[in-house]
A and B are shown apart, each in its own frame.
Chain A
Amino acid sequence: MTTETFSAENNRSHLHYQKVARTEDLILKLKVIAFYAGVVIFWLVVASLYRGFGRNWIIPAVSVMWIAGAITAFVARNNEENTTRETRWVILGFLGFLVLYRAILPFIVPLSSAQMAAALDINIPAVSGEAIAGMLQSVLLLVSVLTPVGFIIWCGQKIRQYHGRRTRQSTFEKTKGVSRGQP
């Protein structure tokens, strides 16, 4: 256990602050690092599952999401912890969707409309069997494109909200005549 002690050297020198590095802190740090490392490894695994699509789209898209989250956490300091947590959960969810999609895709694609019609005992037009492959492709493209775009928009909104709040706060301060000690 390391202990740092700060004492104020002023007229009230009996004031002491202590910052203690405890075991819980260490475990918390290790947990956070392990989580982020796990997400990064998961990211690489998912990208390798998608081969060319993973290398050309998933890695850049998730990179852009990480960078947007980092910039937002750096700029909007009042929401730092929230931003980091939501960034990693959004990325983990995105990657989780991609993994599930990759896992179930081989089972869905070979199903013909005749098989489906026989299984469900209903009439299905033969054309819909061809359309389903295109729909799966569209779903993958839409999700993999719109999730990063939506996340970036969310980050931008957060930064904008932070600046708006600051502007409002400074306006109130000016109106009330509160000085921050700066000319």
Chain B
Amino acid sequence: MRRNDNLQTITPEEVKARMTEAFLKAMSERFAPPGELFHEWYVRNARENGWIAKTEDEIIEHIVFGVVVGGNMSVFEILHSALVFHVNAFYGIVFFMQTNFFLFLGVPAAAYLAYSEIRAKTSLEIDDKRRLG
């Protein structure tokens, strides 16, 4: 039996390209009119029927307010997410301050005690190198 050595040297990119080619060929035979490739026919139909943007203004509007093809977020969605995130964060801080009001009195007092103890302990450590001469 003859082994196909080419299968072991083929790269993933080549596999992808061949699969795409085969897919487009099959889809073209099934859907597209004769002499036209499937993806060209699909994009022409989409443009004519208004499924995707046609003019430059529509493209910009699409980028700002709509979902950009490819999985990226639009500007509106980014701003909206940022707004929701920050409103939630500030609400969380306010809620924490509301429920732990006494914490904000106790922690500065503890900090003052730490400062006071450090001052009391280190003030005894002065090197008094007195020289008379």
Q: Which residues of A contact B (CB under 8 A)?
A: 12, 14-20, 22, 24-25, 28-29, 32-33, 35-36, 39-40, 43-44, 55, 59-60, 62-64, 66-67, 69-70, 73-74, 80-81, 84-85, 87-88
Contact = CB atoms under 8 A, between A and B. Distances in A.
A18 B112 contact: no
Q: Which 9 A-B pairs have the closest CB atoms?
A: A63-B106, A81-B120, A66-B109, A63-B102, A84-B117, A70-B109, A36-B114, A60-B102, A66-B106
A80 B120 CA distance: 7
Per DSSP, chain B at the interface is: helix
A43 B132 CA distance: 53
Per DSSP, chain A at the interface is: helix
A28 B118 contact: yes
B110 to A, nearest CB: 5
Contacts of A67: 105-106, 109
A17 B126 contact: yes
Given A28-B118, A74-B116, A81-B117, A22 B110 contact: no
Interface residues of B, number: 29
A59 B102 contact: yes
Contacts of B118: 28-29, 32-33
Contacts of A18: 126-129
B122 A59 contact: no
A13 B33 CA distance: 107
